[in-house]
Amino acid sequence: MGRNFVVTTILLATGLLTDFGASPASLPHRAEANPSQYAAFHKTLSASEQALHATDRLTFGARPVDLEAFRALGRKRWIDEQLHPERTPETPQLQRRLEQLASLQMTPHELVMHYPRPKAIAAAAKENADSHAQPIANR
């Protein structure tokens, strides 16, 4: 490669970066500095619109109880709780219902021994169906 090619390439690259405003300091931050097709993204949302937007984006759809929690806790705390569900204790009603499920108290080994795999269940069901399909004299 010739020296002129390298210098031209560097100047061209530097010129393009400067012309297109690639440095973060030169990026437009005002709504009026952006093209008109992006104007909708610079609309300031009201408090109720913020709540609806956040709960709709960060849950499986905004429910009235989510909106109430958002308003009661505030945006930052509500989002923090969504990101760290392990910090939220279970309700006593749910705890009582979960205690009735023996499988939640089992070790992985106990689960495998107590609950057969789906393939084993399917094989047993097929074997059972085959034995009932044979005439009684052949059993």
Q: Are residues 47 and 82 in the same domain?
A: yes
Neighbours of 75 (CB within 10 A): 13
Residue bearing the bigger pLDDT, 116 or 6: 116
34: in domain: no
Residue 52's domain spans which residues?
43-88
73: in domain: yes
Average pLDDT over residues 73-101: 91
CA 113-118-122 angle, to 5 degrees, is 115
100: in domain: yes
This prediction has a pTM of 0.44
d(CA 27, CA 20): 9
19: in domain: no
Whether the Cβ atoms of residue 64 and residue 52 lie closer than 8 Å to each other: no
List the structure tokens of 19: 């012309």
C-alpha distances in Å from residue 62, one per residue of 27, 31, 84: 34, 28, 19
pLDDT > 90 fraction of the chain, expressed in percent and rounded: 32
What is the domain count for the chain? Answer: 2
97: in domain: yes
pLDDT in tens, 9-31: 554 554 543 444 444 555 555 55
